[in-house]
Amino acid sequence: MSAPQEHSGASLAFHIEGLTKVYEMGDVLVHALRGVTLDLYEGEFVVLLGPSGSGKSTLVNILGGLDNATAGSVNFRGEDLTDEDESALTKFRRNHVGFVFQFYNLIPSLTALENVALVTEIAIDPMTAEEALDIVNLTDRSGHFPAQMSGGEQQRVAIARAVAKRPDVLLCDEPTGALDIKTGIVVLEALKRVNETLGTLTVVITHNAAIAAMADRVIYFADGNIDRIEANDHRVDPSEISW
């Protein structure tokens, strides 16, 4: 299946070809990805939609260098990531990728500011931790520990932490999955702002079809492969989304 080339003006970020991932779960082989081929462009906002187990998270993990593919190739800005070893993947993550997870995964023993600063200390050209928190409108919560913040606030800290290094790609796995609609929208607004102001390629995994409306492109997953890809002519603002 070939992807429609909607963003003819933007340059190619990821070129993914025939990507396959097979897990061994005890005696059972699980085919998480079955030969996915896809191009992702700089600066676009992509939503991955699909049921549980359709392969979205596996793809994002491989894109982010958290996991290796069983077969196929991933190419980032002309560099082949497929057979890179752990240290090269670590370097890739460190310099290019920001992650946002469903359960925030903040370090509970560090404050909001410190969680962000954790990354700014190891990044090459980071913004300050304060700037990153400002992007997600959380400057006033910078001294709070995760346990003292709501889920939405924690997720915004996680976004700040992810973008503080000025990543080239922001990968978000169910960023609103654990949130109610109101806080979910605040988080999505933060993502949108990052995408627009920093021009970061943003990939968002979600179960929630309503979120698809804010994307440039929506990639539908089913059973380990891309079912179809839709481009939005008009991106809806998060505040207009409801679910």
**φ, ψ of residue 157 in degrees (nearest 5):** -60, -40
Binding window for other proteins (CB under 8 A); candidates: 3-11, 118-126, 189-197, 207-215: 118-126
**Mapped to the 3 state alphabet, what secondary structure does the chain carry?**
CCCCCCCCCCCEEEEEEEEEEEEEECCEEEEEEEEEEEEEECCCEEEEECCCCCCHHHHHHHHCCCCCCCEEEEEECCEECCCCCHHHHHHHHHHHEEEECCCCCCCCCCCHHHHHHHHHCCCCCCCCHHHHHHHCCCHHHCCCCHHHCCHHHHHHHHHHHHHCCCCCEEEEECCCCCCCHHHHHHHHHHHHHHHHHHCCEEEEEECCHHHHHHCCEEEEEECCEEEEEEECCCCCCHHHCCC
Nearest distance from C-beta of residue 110 to other proteins, angstroms: 5
| One character per residue 121-150, x = contact with other proteins (rule: CB under 8 A) | xxx---------------------------
Q: Binding to other proteins by residue 217, rule CB under 8 A? A: no
Q: Binding to other proteins by residue 239, rule CB under 8 A? A: no
Q: Binding to other proteins by residue 22, rule CB under 8 A? A: no
Residue 65 or 184: the one with the smaller Cβ distance to other proteins is 65
Q: Binding to other proteins by residue 64, rule CB under 8 A? A: yes
Strands 71-76 and 12-25 come out as: antiparallel
Q: Binding to other proteins by residue 31, rule CB under 8 A? A: no
| One character per residue 148-187, x = contact with other proteins (rule: CB under 8 A) | -------------x---x----------------------
Residue with tokens 């979600």: 206
Q: Binding to other proteins by residue 115, rule CB under 8 A? A: yes
Nearest distance from C-beta of residue 213 to other proteins, angstroms: 28
Task: Kindly tell me which residue out of 14, 43, 48, 61 binds other proteins, with binding defined by CB under 8 A.
Answer: 61
Q: Binding to other proteins by residue 52, rule CB under 8 A? A: no
Residue with tokens 């370090």: 107
Task: Kindly tell me which residue out of 41, 45, 76, 101 binds other proteins, with binding defined by CB under 8 A.
Answer: 101
Residue ranges in contact with other proteins by CB under 8 A: 61, 64-67, 86-87, 90-91, 93-95, 97, 99, 101, 103, 105, 107, 109-110, 114-115, 117-119, 121-123, 161, 165
